A and B are shown apart, each in its own frame.
Chain A
Amino acid sequence: GQQVMQIPQYQHVQEGEDFTTYCNSSTTLSNIQWYKQRPGGHPVFLIQLVKSGEVKKQKRLTFQFGEAKKNSSLHITATQTTDVGTYFCAGPRGGSSGDKLTFGTGTRLAVRP
């Protein structure tokens, strides 16, 4: 079945450093979504990418969808303590699976103040 892997599993950075998480799917995706889960909280939708090679920015966050639509990345410039949490990518399962998403394994970000 479809698998979505993320690396790294965990990263600890000094506040002000940059951070990147990578998402790789075993199948081509029609779109990819990114969610953030704060410690003890629930996942919250951040953004959706649809087009091959698409790049979107939200303040210090830059999201990219690969040309082959099988991978994606999230880059945070100059991390802040408010960026702490786990970042998940998610892709649709396709076919008769309707609205189901496959979530990636997640990357947990810790930020030293």
Chain B
Amino acid sequence: DGGITQSPKYLFRKEGQNVTLSCEQNLNHDAMYWYRQDPGQGLRLIYYSQIVNDFQKGDIAEGYSVSREKKESFPLTVTSAQKNPTAFYLCASSTGLAGGSDTQYFGPGTRLTVL
């Protein structure tokens, strides 16, 4: 059963703590992405990776970090430096073959709440 999984579905964090969100895909996709979605808002790109061991900042990378040690995995760490981390986080992947024509496949998302 191919797809993208994200865990956990809901996450609560105390202020000042770092937290890591998991994203795994078994679609054999080269490209992976992290987006942030706030209530009633669109999707804003945090980080993206076009190939293993390489990643680039998106539009709102401050306070976040990522790694891409394996093709299947692209974890996102929300650090204490992120001033307003409460949001819905979506991971996506694409083949990376078609450039800007690539369809993106999304995981179910992680809803992070900072207490």
Contacts and interface: CB of A to CB of B under 8 A. Distances in A.
B is bound to A: yes
Interface of A: 9, 30-31, 33, 41-45, 48, 50, 88, 90-94, 97-101, 103-106, 108
B42 A104 contact: yes
Given A98-B50, A100-B58, A108-B40, A45 B103 contact: yes
A98 B101 contact: no
Interface in B43-93: 43, 45, 48, 50, 58, 90, 92
8 contacts: A41-B109, A42-B107, A88-B42, A91-B100, A100-B45, A100-B100, A101-B104, A103-B35
Contacts of A108: 40
A32 to B, nearest CB: 10
A43 B48 contact: no
Contacts of B109: 41-42
B42 A97 contact: no
Nearest to A93: B100
Q: Chain B interface residue count: which class?
A: 20 to 34
A28 B107 CA distance: 29
Contacts of B50: 98-99
B89 to A, nearest CB: 11
Interface of B: 31, 33, 35, 40-43, 45, 48, 50, 58, 90, 92, 94, 96, 98-109
A2 B107 CA distance: 25
A92 B100 contact: yes
B108 to A, nearest CB: 5
Contacts of B103: 33, 45, 48
Contacts of B31: 98-99
A103 B33 CA distance: 13
Given A91-B100, A98-B100, A99-B99, 6 more contacts: A31-B100, A42-B109, A43-B92, A92-B99, A100-B33, A103-B42
A23 to B, nearest CB: 11
Contacts of B48: 99-100
Nearest to B31: A99
